[in-house]
Amino acid sequence: MVLRGLLAGNPIEVVISRALVGLFGGLALGALLGWVGMIVVSDNPPPAPDGFNEAGPGVERPTA
């Protein structure tokens, strides 16, 4: 994209500034989506297989 911007006759300052804005915009968007995905995964753990509980196989869960 940088090369195409230069070949189109745009000034180098405009091409580089737009490239940097796109780079950091993509970085911020990716970080935000990764953070949201991490929260979704941590809030929804997979179900334990039959016969197992979170403490492990054969371990009884304490009752209150």
- Of 8 and 44, the one with more pLDDT: 8
Q: Per-residue pLDDT tens for 31-51?
A: 999 999 999 988 887 776 665
Predicted pLDDT of residue 52? 59
Q: How confident is the model at residue 26 (pLDDT cuts 50, 70, 90)?
A: very high
Domain ranges of the chain: 2-43
**What does the block give as tokens for 16?**
């580089």
The single residue listed with the structure tokens 């180098």 is: 12
Q: Residue 11 has what DSSP assignment?
A: -
CA dihedral over 14, 19, 24, 28, signed as positive or negative: positive
Q: How confident is the model at residue 57 (pLDDT cuts 50, 70, 90)?
A: low
For residue 55, give every residue at least 6 positions away whose Cβ sits within 8 Å of its Cβ, in sequence order, or none: 61
- How crowded is residue 5: how many other Cβ atoms within 10 Å of its Cβ? 16
Share of the chain above pLDDT 90, in %: 58
